[in-house]
Chains A and B, each alone.
Chain A
Amino acid sequence: MAEIVVQVDKTTPVISDLSELLSAAQDAATGAVATFTGVCRDEGGKLEALELHHYPGMAEKQLEAIAQKALADTGATALAIHHRHGLVPAGEAIVAVIAASAHRKASLEAVGFVMDFLKTDAPFWKREIWKNGETRWVEAKQSDDEARALRVLQS
């Protein structure tokens, strides 16, 4: 039975907290647990924070759909995603992903799959808040679209 946990809130994503929510991470049939944490860069000390905007409701639904696809595609047995919204000071985590599987390949793949689809499909938007007072919406990267397109071709 596939297990999915999705969390969207203003608290800092922490892998160990996410791991505790995922019973498969403690299951004896699990032979591999892979994790990813996305962190706000300080851009050479010039960036104060990122402000994460999201579409409440759709954000959670999309993350669940992405997690389901990732499990079906990779054979991982369990997946948890915690994506933060609101103000994220430089150096703090924005997103954490944890996947469990019997063997390592599936969980490593599942984490990469989630991040590639999350970048293009989950309704979150970043605004940079610079220390000099400027603010700017982050532009979507073409490389993110290409990474997603490659996943679609491979699946």
Chain B
Amino acid sequence: MSGTTEINVLYFARLRDKIGLEGEAIALSDEVGTVGDLFALLQNRSDAHASALADDVSIRAAVDQQHADMETPLSGAREVAFFPPMTGG
């Protein structure tokens, strides 16, 4: 129990298509301290994850619905989203 928390991960647009999931709950150990740590963990989850998350230069992230980067800490976060560059408007 100690040192493990669960976080809700969401995928949007092309990433959602490639991974085949809208989102998933991920158990985090203490070693997963930043968005980048979580991203690396997700890349190793399946071939589909690896393929969808291969392009780490253009993939954007949000922590609790605020724009984030790979250095953003996860402490206290409930929801992390990964998505391609936005194309609204």
A55 in contact with B85 given A121-B67, A123-B12, A125-B12 (CB within 8 Å): no
Contacts of B87 in A (CB 8 A): 119, 124-126, 137-140
From residue A10, how far is it (CB to closest CB) to chain B in Å?
Answer: 15
**Interface residue SS majority, chain B:** loop
A-B contacts besides A122-B88, A125-B12, 16 pairs, CB < 8 Å: A38-B89, A58-B81, A62-B67, A94-B88, A115-B89, A119-B86, A119-B88, A119-B89, A123-B12, A123-B81, A124-B89, A125-B13, A126-B87, A127-B13, A137-B14, A140-B58
21 intermolecular pairs with C-beta atoms under 8 Å apart: A38-B89, A55-B10, A58-B66, A83-B88, A121-B67, A122-B89, A123-B12, A123-B62, A123-B81, A123-B86, A123-B88, A125-B13, A125-B14, A125-B88, A126-B87, A126-B88, A127-B13, A137-B14, A137-B84, A137-B87, A140-B87
